[in-house]
């Protein structure tokens, strides 16, 4: 019987790591919002910058996650033209990269590294018609961690966080993927509760309120 993509992903990415990923996204959203909307007087600038800052936080957190979860391998990879780097995360036979999109159905922007990961050596995904012999599936699975930012509350929360699986040509998702927000409501509650745990305690910005430009 063919193993579903979700089952394969769960087999190779332990639940504690999936929970940590969701926490990390929530925390990065919150920290990016606090920092950028506290630092820049123009909301437009804060919004523009917060995406870059958030991505930096997320990329930085992958390194810290490796320290906590030895089963993770984190490799910094340069873009082809050396215009930047991203981290390629490996857990068991799953390779993960992250992308921010507007909508869960929207594909990440076209990128050579994604095409390479999706095409080269990826195991046959569960949408294929041909039944596969699992024992003959030595190659990895490529999973994209996608998240979108809610525009309310100074972009301090994601509105979706999913693990999704692209076809070989990166032209569509092969299934609905895994909705991490639905899967771990207890993790979400830590970041969305209004009182008694952490929502009650909000750090005051250290700087004074700036006049708008």
Partner 1 sequence: MKSGVQGFHGERLRQAREALGLRVASLADMLGVSRQSVSQYETGESLPGPEVFDRLVTHLRQEPQFFLRPTVEFELTPHFFRSMASATKSARRRAEARLTWFREIGLRVSEDIEFPRVDFPDFAASNKNPRLVPLAEVEAFAVETRRYWKLGEGPIANLVDVAESRGAVILRHDLDSAALDGVSQWAKPEGIPLIVLNSQKRVSARSRLDLAHELGHMILHRHVAHSELEDDEVFEQIETQAFRFAAALLLPERPFLEDLYSISLDALRSLKAKWKVSIAMMIERLKGLEIINADEHRKLRINYNARKWTRVEPFDNELPIEEPQLISRAIRLLVRNNGRSLDQIASDTGIARHWIEQILDTPADPTDDKVRLRLVESKKPNAVFG
Residue 67 in the binding site for partner 1 (CB under 8 A): yes
Pick from 116, 117, 99: nearest CA to 59: 99
Report the residue from 93, 107, 174, 190 that binds partner 1 according to the rule CB under 8 A. 190
Q: Which two tokens stand for residue 189?
A: 């509650």
Residue closer to partner 1 by CB (options 54, 123) is: 54
Q: Indicate whether 211 belongs to the interface with partner 1 (CB under 8 A).
A: no
Among the listed residues 20, 17, 11, the one whose alpha carbon sits nearest the alpha carbon of residue 187: 20
Figure out which of the listed residues 27, 88, 175, 179 binds partner 1, where binding follows CB under 8 A.
27
- Name the 3-class secondary structure at 158: strand
Among 5, 8, 20, 155, binds partner 1 (CB under 8 A): 20
Look at residue 50 and give its three-state secondary structure.
helix
Question: Which are the contacts of 65, defined by CB distance < 8 A and separation ≥ 6?
Answer: 17, 20, 21, 24, 72, 74
Q: Answer for the pair 46, 37: CB distance below 8 angstroms, yes or no.
A: yes
- Can you tell me which of 60, 105, 106, 153 binds partner 1, judged by CB under 8 A? 60
Taking the least distance from each CB to partner 1, the nearer of 30 and 114 is 30
Binding of residue 208 to partner 1 (CB under 8 A): no
User: For partner 1, which is the closer residue by CB, 36 or 166?
Assistant: 36
* C-beta closer to partner 1: residue 20 or 96: 20
Task: Please identify which residue in the block is written with the tokens 């699986």.
Answer: 165
d(CA 75, CA 148): 24
State which residue, 64 or 121, has the beta carbon closest to partner 1. Answer: 64
What whole-number distance in Å separates Cα of residue 23 and Cα of residue 168? 29
Q: What is the binding site for partner 1 (CB under 8 A)?
A: 16, 19-21, 23-24, 27-28, 30-31, 57, 60-65, 67-68, 190, 197-198, 200-204
């Amino acid at each position: 019987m063919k193993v579903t993509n979700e089952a394969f992903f769960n087999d190779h990415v332990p639940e504690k790591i999936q929970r940590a990923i969701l926490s990390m996204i929530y925390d990065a959203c919150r920290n990016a919002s606090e920092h950028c909307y506290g630092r820049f007087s123009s909301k437009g600038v804060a919004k523009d910058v917060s995406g870059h800052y958030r991505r930096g936080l997320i990329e930085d957190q992958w390194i810290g996650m490796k320290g906590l979860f030895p089963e993770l391998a984190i490799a910094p990879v340069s873009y082809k033209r050396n215009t930047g780097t991203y981290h390629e995360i490996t857990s068991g036979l799953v390779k993960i990269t992250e992308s921010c999109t507007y909508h869960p159905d929207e594909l990440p922007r076209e990128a050579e590294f994604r095409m390479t990961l999706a095409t080269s050596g990826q195991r046959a995904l569960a949408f294929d018609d041909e039944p596969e012999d699992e024992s003959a599936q030595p190659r990895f699975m490529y999973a994209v961690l996608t998240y979108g930012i809610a525009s309310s509350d100074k972009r301090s929360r994601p509105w979706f966080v999913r693990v999704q699986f692209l076809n070989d040509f990166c032209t569509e998702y092969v299934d609905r993927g895994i909705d991490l927000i639905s899967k771990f409501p207890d993790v979400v509650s830590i970041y969305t509760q209004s009182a008694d745990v952490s929502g009650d305690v909000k750090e005051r910005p250290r700087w004074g309120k700036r006049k708008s430009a």
